[in-house]
Chains A and B, each alone.
Chain A
């Protein structure tokens, strides 16, 4: 059986950044396994601009952003396999992959980095009633069809969900000559970036109906129309508010779910809120030597953060295989992070002071729109951070930074609590 020091599952932005960081940290044998026909992942279908403002201080399109990383992976001669599906992984880190030329292959990894990304929630998950005709696509599928295959899913479009992909596709379809009639969003606020609301909807006069959802889909063969209705505070449609739209296409942009089928095979402990693994300060799961980063860990808003996080996972996986996590460091005490009062989760979930870098970024999302509120951090019962934010919204990730030196001053600390406070 062939062996690698690090096997990275997924060659999207997370996998690429993780590979580069691991290489820079001195790991020789790295293998990236990618199921698509090229590296870069979903960025290849995100042909719009707006990527990389944080990382490269310029506005790139998805393929351009991806290529910045692909280029380095090629320069570094990091091994990768395309059109290759990982079929299985085991707790002893045997990875089974399959492709057309090699068939089923088992390889031994010292460390595994999970970077499989996420998938879109389908119609079924929302239980939208009505017929099941052709013409209902998740926004990402439509995006692939338009941007990578060159086909138009439809002419008259209604979009459910105001996630960024849906908004981006509203503009994209419009520029290709389709007519986007309305975007319905079940929540009272948009799930997408303000910038996308303005530049993808307002620029083209596409209405956004907040607190609205689809209650019926018509058409036996191809979509012929939808009915949308307003929802009450329990998200139940309000009778009498129904509006009919004739259309031939429905795009769904109703959320992303980390793709953790493989993680589940080795019983990685999962976080019910993120649907991704529970990880420590090194982005390591409860299965030793198995790391996670990018959208498989938790769904991100900006790819820049994916790259940053993945680089950390790559660096730590390198430390792990090079034997730099050991003895004393591992036995140092572990602090648990708790997310309460408006904070939905934190990544990481635990911090081992012996293993952490000088600083560790803790990312989280809030569960509602908060204006003029405070992000507060408590070390046990002592409030150590109280930072005012004009606005926080579920669509945007927030972070705080933990400082190792400061934590060393609290030798008995058991729990760090992150919460949103009004005052």
Chain B
């Protein structure tokens, strides 16, 4: 039996939740105050995911830095790989919100998309 402890993020209460696990499966969740806590805990111990947000440089646009995010949440252990995958990415204006900036973020199959519009630089 393996025990995992975590803090619930559902509300400011921040319950200390204990999850009992056997063979990678959740056996029991304790310490939570509400059902949301249990749902969060199960997800967090079995397949924790995060949306990664970052930025890339953009050329020829009215701004120099373009904000981006993974379109969906990626496995938590891939956060750094995803962020680092952007190091070599170059983007040219114009860009629209939702445009794909990197097709597959670090082998997750999930793309990075733009979260901001960038217009051509009109003049200097």
Q: Does A touch B (CB under 8 Å) in the complex?
A: yes
Residue numbers of A with Cβ under 8 A of B are 38, 44, 47-49, 59-64, 67, 146-150, 175-176, 193-195, 197-199, 202-203, 369, 371, 390-393, 395-396
- Chain B 54-88 interface 0/1 with A at a Cβ cutoff of 8 Å (1 = within): 11010000011101110000001001100100000
Q: Are A391 and B67 in contact (CB under 8 A)?
A: no
Q: Are B69 and A61 in contact (CB under 8 A)?
A: yes
Q: How far is the CB of B58 from chain A (nearest CB, A)?
A: 10
Q: Which of B1-58 contact A (CB under 8 A)?
A: 6-14, 33, 50-55, 57
Q: Are B65 and A149 in contact (CB under 8 A)?
A: yes
Query: Bound complex: CA of A49 vs CA of B65, how far in Å?
Result: 17
Known: A194-B11, A391-B13. A63 touches B65 (CB 8 A): no
Q: Are B55 and A150 in contact (CB under 8 A)?
A: yes
Query: Bound complex: CA of A62 vs CA of B68, how far in Å?
Result: 11
Would you mind naming 8 contact pairs between A and B with Cβ atoms under 8 Å apart? A47-B55, A49-B53, A146-B55, A193-B12, A369-B12, A390-B13, A393-B12, A396-B12
Q: Are B115 and A194 in contact (CB under 8 A)?
A: no
Residues of B within 8 A of A193 (CB): 9, 12
Residues of A within 8 A of B11 (CB): 194, 390-391
Q: Are A64 and B53 in contact (CB under 8 A)?
A: no
Q: Are A64 and B97 in contact (CB under 8 A)?
A: yes
8 Å CB contact of B12 from A47, A48, A391: A391
Closest B residue to A396 by beta carbon equals B12
- Contact of B90 with A by CB under 8 A: no
Q: How many A-B residue pairs have CB under 8 A?
A: 85
Query: Bound complex: CA of A54 vs CA of B81, how far in Å?
Result: 31
Q: How far is the CB of A49 from chain B (nearest CB, A)?
A: 5
Q: Are A197 and B7 in contact (CB under 8 A)?
A: yes
Known: A49-B53, A61-B53. A150 touches B64 (CB 8 A): yes
Residues of B within 8 A of A150 (CB): 55, 57, 64-65
Q: Are B53 and A194 in contact (CB under 8 A)?
A: no
Query: Bound complex: CA of A44 vs CA of B63, how far in Å?
Result: 11
Residues of B within 8 A of A194 (CB): 7-14
Residues of B within 8 A of A393 (CB): 12
8 Å CB contact of A195 from B6, B9, B33, B97: B9
8 Å CB contact of B50 from A146, A203, A395, A396: A203
Query: Bound complex: CA of A150 vs CA of B52, how far in Å?
Result: 17
Query: Bound complex: CA of A387 vs CA of B9, how far in Å?
Result: 23
Query: Bound complex: CA of A203 vs CA of B54, how far in Å?
Result: 16
Q: How far is the CB of B13 from chain A (nearest CB, A)?
A: 4
Closest B residue to A393 by beta carbon equals B12
Q: Are B117 and A67 in contact (CB under 8 A)?
A: yes
